[in-house]
Chain A
């Protein structure tokens, strides 16, 4: 079958080209060239390489950024207050992370959100409703401030560092966790203690985080991604050399992959607070009352020690800790 068809094809082309000289038939059998492109490694969606950094805004002086509003009314909910409003909505909207192991993450086996931040949000809901009525919104680092400002969520509990620049846009609860910025490297890479040792190397952090700014201020090349786990993927794929962010996040990476090696020196203190709209001071005070309760009742320690299915807890990854003391203005 093959040969006669081939002969016929050759005959057809020969006849067509020779006698009739129709160009179309003659051009048909030229094979296209295959391109010899270089392999482009896969990258996380939304990666900024190098990172686009916002204009450096003068860090305003607000005194102590960890000082919040004193809870004057305790857990009382006055009519017309923000908490009464939330009760009327019958749901507390909270922005969390769903990618940061042990802080706010989606457990792929149950589809449920778990972690320290998520539990804190549930505790606040329990205080308002007596039960868990939370609508979780999984948001990225750079969405935290706008989501609070635009009222998309009532609060953000998402490994968020309190600083004076952010106090200009949102209000913070009292400090509920103290993290430190550290550096993670992978496999055979020498463990480094400072960003200066990573001069010229590619270092990953989330877009809109305080860490990406710290990296940009050093001699390292900042690479920004939407979610923290995107950094771990890039580290595993060898498209970045290191990650620099809070130990709370890095310890979660080390728990997911034993090749992730952490530094021990704290580059900066990162106090975590719950972000709330600046106009809802009553809600900030209320949340502070809830946090007081968590600190005093030992619930904070319970959450810190709570182990997930794999047996990992914040305590097992970060060592013993006690809740940071509340400071008020």
Chain B
């Protein structure tokens, strides 16, 4: 049924209702002069008779039941799709973007730390660097497949273009370092600069746009189905009016068809309402203790990795002007990490609802504090001229060494991110489960509603023939 016709027929119907007719006779008095509004008057004349009236009601009910069904099913299908989007599309994108950022930060920290150690790189650091680049490349491809914003696509393009340049520079640095030639350090500086000035800002931008894309999808998936609910409530209203009207006109209390139709539509209302309410709840929870939590923890982890990188580069720079700049970077990143008020780690602890995660986060904070103290000690050593001692402390993997503590912190944060990721996936799955069968159910019930009202009114109309 075309929408335009409904609008036209609805208006005379409602104005007619207010005519306060209680008798089962054709209405002539209220008819408008045909000279003034010929078209409207013809319509009223035609619908003025009871069978005409009932036919119109039947048509309206049929349309409303159909519209409710279509809107309801469309809502379930598109919500299901949005939830798929939360888990597969923008969710995967959001996680991929965070992984890219973290892997790149870790690659930088690992490369600088290996250079600080000197000599031939340890297999452990080499493996870690390779793994970081591998993960960054794969997650970049994942992000490229799911990105839908221009800013995100630009960031992915820049990352894709610069990552091979970065790895090329690192390989050059490595080759020269292994030959004992100082130009290797210059390649490392250039690589680190490329990372800081081009790769990490692009990764940050990708993360920002992916994060808001995910949040938007989550918002859309968690809205109430307003259009469907409006149609359903309107259908129920017209059903109620029809039944009251029929009761008044025919003195028969129940019309089985219309009653069945009403029950079906109430069920549609209940099912759709409950399913979308539950789904929205799971989506919100998946955001609060899932994706939003991952973002905070990843921010903390990236701050820790950049602090670690700055610690190494400060020692590599060995007292020059850039040493002071890098030390300032360490202080900034550690400040972000230890900020008890608005720092990401503090916020993550505040938002945490998982009791198993509480000790992990507490330990992460304690580890960051311990590292901060060790850093102060090694900076003091370096300032006093005990460079070798400072480097040893920075590279120490023994208990209380800076390398050990920063690695511990990284592992704890990675563990927390893993756990938040599990929560995110579980809640998204639960949201999807809440909608199971809702599409088919709503569709079938709408058909029952349509059939019931058609059947119920058809019988009344037939009585006039």
- Enumerate chain A interface residues (CB-CB to B < 8 A): 5, 8-9, 11-13, 15-16, 19-20, 22, 24-25, 28-35, 37, 39, 42-46, 91, 93, 95, 98-101, 105-111, 133-140, 143, 226-227, 229-230, 232-233, 236, 252-253, 256-257, 308-310
Contact = CB atoms under 8 A, between A and B. Distances in A.
Interface in B292-335: 317-323
Contact of B183 (A22, A33, A133, A233): A233
Given A33-B153, A45-B193, A8 B80 contact: yes
A110 B180 CA distance: 9
Contacts of A256: 176, 181-183
Contact of B181 (A44, A101, A133): A101
Given A15-B74, A16-B78, A42-B190, A257 B183 contact: yes
A105 to B, nearest CB: 4
A233 B148 CA distance: 38
A243 B191 CA distance: 21
B320 A134 contact: no
Nearest to B179: A310
A106 B182 contact: yes
Interface in B166-200: 169, 176-187, 189-194, 197
Contacts of A310: 179-180
A33 B150 contact: yes
B185 A44 contact: no
B149 A108 contact: no
A93 B385 contact: yes
Given A109-B180, A135-B385, A229-B185, A11 B157 contact: no
A229 B188 CA distance: 11
B185 A15 contact: no
Contacts of B115: 108
B319 A137 contact: yes
B355 to A, nearest CB: 37
Given A20-B227, A136-B319, A229-B186, A42 B74 contact: no
B77 A110 contact: no
Contact of B384 (A135, A233, A252): A135
Given A8-B77, A143-B320, A111 B118 contact: yes
B180 A107 contact: yes
A75 B392 CA distance: 36
Nearest to A257: B183
Residue among B116, B119, B120 facing the most chain A CB atoms (10 A cut-off): B119
A99 B322 contact: no
The size bracket of the interface on B is 35 or more
A242 B260 CA distance: 91
A34 B186 contact: no
Residue among A8, A34, A229, A253 facing the most chain B CB atoms (10 A cut-off): A229
B291 to A, nearest CB: 19
Interface string B53-97: 000000000000001001101100110110010000000000000
B438 interface: no
Contact of B119 (A5, A109, A135, A236): A109
A99 B77 contact: no
A47 to B, nearest CB: 9
Nearest to A91: B385
Contact of A99 (B116, B148, B182): B182
A35 B417 CA distance: 33
B391 A12 contact: no
* The 8 A-B residue pairs with the shortest CB-CB distance in the complex, in nearest-first order: A135-B385, A137-B319, A45-B193, A111-B118, A229-B186, A138-B318, A32-B153, A15-B74
A285 B179 CA distance: 40
Contacts of A252: 182
Contact of A233 (B161, B180, B186): B186
B257 interface: no
A105 B157 contact: no
B51 interface: no
